[in-house]
């Protein structure tokens, strides 16, 4: 019997393989001096650089303040200790039900589909998560699906990571079909940054898989700045909607990136124009190495009030913080109710 023929890499896999893997290469591409940019070899060693070339191509050459560049470049500030910044700021490990299955909130669980991401965001709250201990190999995935099937209180499963859209179409199709076969599940959700930083991934194969999903499907994107919404990203959003997905967005409030009411208002309006509803604006999760991104609560509340004054209510994202052990994500005290 002939051996199966290996499939050639898809276009998105080729694009991912060519991503920048060093700060030096990225800075050379952007025409920036490493010393002037404040790059740290120690920070890059602790959390490696990964930036798709297509995403880097949207950054302004020679601009050290480009908000997209600031999200991905390892700076010396990451190596400075800061009080209150920890390894697991949102309590993932305490909420583990089994390897790779996180159960924090009533009625829903999060399945860590993979530890891989298309881009390494420097503020990532799971940058120190022990992914190697929570890999979803076939046996572990079967065990986690069985645990979900055995608990009728679970009505929604969130595929997250890492980024679930870096799994193959076959893996996604099989997992979604298995979830659809669990009678008490009502919804499935994908949390992903891939359509924003690697829109090539949203191809006919993926949209076919998503369109075949028998459960109502929500795709929660992660976009922080209106300059991230290039034409290819908007096209990817249109294709996801055509596949039947409801699109939401969650952003992180980041110093030097989007800590400006005008930027946040433009982001909300541009997302809506692309068929994506603003959902959450997160206060920074305090993981080691990210204190330079923090915006204090008083300023965050002022930004939230400014957004409420500028935008209709349905375009104002909920300003929240994730607190370990809480029953839900919590609005900042004094935040406008939405």
Residues 141 and 173 sit within 8 Å (Cβ to Cβ)? no
Q: Global pTM?
A: 0.95
Environment class of residue 33 by beta-carbon count within 10 Å: exposed (0-12), middle (13-18) or buried (19+)?
A: exposed
Inform me whether the pLDDT recorded for 334 exceeds 80.
Answer: no
Residue 269 neighbours by CB under 8 Å, 6+ apart: 311, 315
E runs forming strands in 99-231: 101-105, 108-112, 156-160, 187-192, 217-222
pLDDT digits (tens, 9 = 90+) for 205-252: 999 999 999 999 999 999 999 999 999 999 999 999 999 999 999 999
Backbone angles phi, psi at 259, to 5 degrees: -85, 55
Inform me whether the pLDDT recorded for 2 exceeds 50.
Answer: no
Minimum mean pLDDT among 6-10, 32-36, 102-106, 166-170: which range? Answer: 6-10
């Amino acid at each position: 019997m002939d051996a199966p023929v290996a499939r050639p890499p898809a276009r998105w896999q080729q694009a991912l393989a060519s991503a920048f893997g060093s700060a030096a290469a990225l800075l050379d591409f952007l025409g920036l001096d490493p010393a002037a940019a404040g790059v740290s070899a120690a920070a890059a060693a602790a959390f490696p650089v990964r930036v798709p070339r297509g995403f880097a191509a949207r950054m302004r050459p020679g601009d050290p303040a480009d908000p997209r560049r600031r999200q991905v470049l390892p700076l010396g500030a990451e190596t400075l200790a800061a009080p209150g910044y920890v390894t697991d700021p949102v309590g993932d490990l305490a909420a583990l039900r089994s390897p790779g299955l996180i159960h924090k909130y009533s009625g829903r669980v999060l399945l860590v589909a993979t530890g891989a991401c298309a881009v390494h965001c420097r503020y990532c709250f799971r940058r120190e998560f022990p992914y190697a201990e929570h890999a979803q190999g076939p046996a572990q995935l079967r065990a986690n699906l069985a645990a979900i099937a055995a608990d009728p209180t679970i009505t929604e499963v969130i595929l997250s990571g890492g980024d679930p859209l870096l799994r193959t179409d076959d893996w996604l199709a099989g997992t979604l079909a298995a979830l659809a076969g669990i009678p008490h599940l009502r919804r499935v959700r994908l949390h992903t940054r891939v359509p924003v930083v690697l829109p090539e991934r949203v191809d006919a194969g993926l949209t076919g898989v998503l369109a075949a999903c028998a459960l109502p499907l929500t795709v929660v994107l992660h976009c922080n700045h209106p300059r991230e919404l290039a034409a290819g990203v908007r096209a990817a959003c249109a294709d996801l909607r055509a596949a039947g997905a409801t699109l939401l967005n969650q952003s992180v409030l980041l110093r030097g990136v989007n800590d400006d009411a005008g930027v946040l208002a433009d982001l909300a309006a541009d997302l809506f124009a692309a068929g994506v509803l603003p959902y959450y604006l997160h206060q920074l999760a305090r993981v080691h190495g990210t204190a330079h991104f923090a915006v204090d609560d008083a300023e965050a509340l002022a930004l939230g009030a400014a957004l409420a004054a500028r935008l209709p209510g349905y375009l104002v994202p909920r300003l929240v913080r994730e607190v370990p052990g809480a029953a839900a994500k919590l609005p900042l005290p004094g935040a406008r109710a939405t």
